[in-house]
Amino acid sequence: MMSAQRTPDAPPPSATLRIAVVTETYPPEINGVANTMRHLAEGLANRGHRIELVRPRQTKDPRKPEGTDIELMLVPGLPIPGYRGLRFGLPVYWRLRRHWHRQRPSLIYIATQGPLGHAALSAAQALGIPTITGFHTQFHQYSRHYGLGLLTRPIAGTLRHFHNRSDTTLVPTAELKTELSVEGFNNLHIFGRGVDVDQFSPSWRSTELRRAWGCGDEDLAVVYVGRIAAEKNLDLAREAFQAIRADRSNVRFVLVGDGPEAASMQREHPEFIFVGAKVGAELSAHYASGDLFLFPSLTETFGNVVTEAMASGLPVIAFDYAAAHAHIQPWKNGVTVPMDDRAAFVAASRDLASDRERLRRMGEAARATAEDISWDRVLGGVEERLFEVIHRQRGTEARHASMAATPE
């Protein structure tokens, strides 16, 4: 967890900051970055800070997020190819610069590296406003799954240049911090992820929903939640499920989510249960009504669905990195297998699914682990980092002013 060495003249944690949060995605959009940004913006607002949310305009937008005092600045955007319903923000550099000149933030947090994020970073630097960027998506890893492997290194270089222009980059795990440091990213600090243990809880389990899936009390519901897309490695989830089904007939595979591969996968596997994207209470019930969670992705920066499934009382099978590495104790509250070891993933899925009592015990242990992952604790660390970045820049400005005033 992050900690900051505070000096006597650093702003106290009780001070109120004006923070601009710039992101290309935010609820009601459904993805991990949007979810994290909601917790960040609302959590900091609840701590007494003044939050301005800058994001692309969507087709149905309230004037401001409901139930909060968050200010909303909407900018023009265009659709993102392959991501239905999502838009990227246009590079409105001059609009941001004029706006922040009139209403100067204490600090700007930039969550996404699209045109809007680049414009925001440039405007902030022109005005001398401290900036923090968040490393939320492994864009350079995604390129391998869309036939663009040759672009992996150039994309990584572009991301490195972007983040190194900011005062600090926040990453979700110590593992990723080490990896990016080796690749030349500077000033990295950890912004972990919490989980809402009320929204995601075994108490949402629904007998009626399980019946709709064709599952009785003794049947097994294997669940996946996330985008149905090439980068999620779902052919391995299919292989693992089919290995489970070879041992038992009373098993169902439920996929919760949408994406570019959904239609073709549904045509190829009509026996799978595709329920589309879910939010709110419906999402909570779909997690909690499962028995085992398969997560074969190799491209996560964190993987919020891992902790959400754990909080819902499901043991997770995943590769040993990101959220799984941080929170799963192998064969106690879930299972991790070596990176890209497909055979180990399938074998673990088959083994764990064969013992209902062990599934139950591991699900209870997963829930206990999740109860210790508090968003309040995570946001307390982020808040410390905000004050540290602001104080550090003030010290730099003071030194520059002193040097300029010193006669030769």
DSSP per position, 144-209: GGGT-GGGHHHHHHHHHHHHHTSSEEEES-HHHHHHHHHTT--SEEE------TTTS-GGG--HHH
* pLDDT given for residue 77 in this prediction: 87
For 44-77, letters b (16+ CB in 10 Å) and e give bbebebbbbbbbbebeeeeeebeeeebbbbebeb
Q: Where are the domains of the chain?
A: 18-194+374-405, 202-370
Integer Cα distance of 34 and 408 in angstroms: 52
Amino acid (1-letter code) at residue 291 = D
> Mean pLDDT for each consecutive 10-residue tract of the chain (408 residues)?
40 77 90 90 95 87 64 88 71 97 97 93 97 75 41 70 95 91 94 93 98 95 95 96 95 96 95 96 98 95 95 98 95 97 98 96 98 88 92 71 56
For residue 268, give the amino acid letter: E
Q: How many C-alpha atoms does 152 have within 13 Å on its Cβ side?
A: 12
Cα-to-chain-centroid distance, residue 376: 16
Beta strands in 241-344 (DSSP E): 251-256, 273-276, 292-295, 316-319, 334-337
Alpha-carbon span 133 to 174, nearest angstrom: 16
Upstream peptide bond of 28 is cis (omega within 30 degrees of 0) = yes
Question: CATH: 3.40.50.300, 3.20.20.60, 1.20.120.160, 3.40.50.2000. Which one for 18-194+374-405?
Answer: 3.40.50.2000
Q: Whose structure tokens read 């499962």?
A: 290
Residue 355, C-beta contacts closer than 8 angstroms, at least 6 positions apart: none
Query: What confidence score (pLDDT) does residue 83 get?
Result: 61
Angle at 297 between CA 291 and CA 301, to 5 degrees: 115
The predicted pLDDT at position 118 comes to 95
Q: Which helix (H) or strand (E) covers residue 342, if one does?
A: helix 342-353
Buried b or exposed e, range 149-168, using 16+ CB within 10 angstroms: eeeeeebbeebbebbebbbb
R_g (Cα) of the chain, nearest Å: 22
202-370 to CATH, choices 3.40.50.2000, 3.30.70.20, 3.90.1300.10, 2.60.40.60: 3.40.50.2000
Instruction: State the Cα–Cα distance between residues 215 and 254, nearest whole angstrom.
Output: 11
Is 202-370 the same fold as 18-194+374-405?
Answer: yes
| pLDDT attached to residue 42 | 94
Give me the pLDDT at residue 207, please. 97
| pLDDT at res. 157 | 81
